[in-house]
Amino acid sequence: MSTIRQALGVAHGEHPAFEQLEQVVDGTADDVTREIVESHCQVCAQCAGELRDLREFAEGTSRSMWPRMLAAAAAVAAVVLIPAWIVLREPPKPVPLPHPAPKVAEGYGRADWDAAVRDALQRGTVELPQQHWPKPDPQRGPVVVVIPSVAEGPGGTGGTTARAMTPVNVVIETTTPILSWPAIPARYVVSVYDGPTRVAQSELLKKPEWQVTPPLARGRTYAWQVKVHRGASVEQLPAPPAPPAMFQVLDTDSATSLADARSRFPNDRLLRGVLEARFGLQKEAADDLRAYAVQHPENKKAAALAESVQ
Partner 1 sequence: MLDEALFSRATAVIDSVVRRRCRTWRLAADTPSEVRSEVLLRLMRRLRDRDSDPIEKLDEYVAGITTRVIDDLIRTALPEWTRLKHRVRYVLDHDDRFAMTIYADGRALCSVPAKPRGLRRVRNRAASELAKMMLELLPHREDELAIDDIVSQIATRIGVLDPVHVEPELLTMGHAADPGVPIESMQSLLELWREIVELPRRQRLALLLNARDAAGDSVMRMLIESHVVSARELAMAVEVRESDLERLVARLPMMDFAIADWLQVTRQQVINLRSAARDRLARRTSRKR
Task: Name the one range near partner 1 by CB under 8 A: 8-16, 128-136, 151-159, 247-255.
Answer: 8-16
Task: Name the one range near partner 1 by CB under 8 A: 18-26, 128-136, 159-167, 184-192.
Answer: 18-26
Site map 37..56 versus partner 1, x via CB under 8 A: --xx-xxx-x--xx--xx--
H helix or E strand, kind and range, residue 178: strand 178-180
CA 256 to chain centre: 8
CA distance 88 to 107: 48
Tell whether residue 155 is a contact of partner 1 (CB under 8 A): no
Yes or no: say if 239 and 147 are a contact pair by the CB < 8 Å rule: yes
Closest CA to 305 of 120, 105, 118, 112: 120
CB of 289 to partner 1, least distance (A): 25
CB of 30 to partner 1, least distance (A): 8
Residue 267 — φ and ψ, nearest 5°? Answer: -100, 5
Tell whether residue 15 is a contact of partner 1 (CB under 8 A): yes
CB of 156 to partner 1, least distance (A): 48
Of 25 and 192, which has the nearer Cβ to partner 1? 25
Site map 96..125 versus partner 1, x via CB under 8 A: --x--x------------------------
Tell whether residue 69 is a contact of partner 1 (CB under 8 A): yes
Cβ atoms within 10 A of the Cβ of 222, count?
A: 24
Give the chain's radius of gyration (CA, Å): 30
Closest CA to 117 of 103, 131, 129: 103
What is the largest distance, in Å, between two alpha-carbon atoms of the chain? 110
List residues binding partner 1 (CB under 8 A).
1-15, 17-18, 21-22, 25, 30, 32-33, 35-36, 39-40, 42-44, 46, 49-50, 53-54, 57-60, 62-66, 68-69, 72, 98, 101
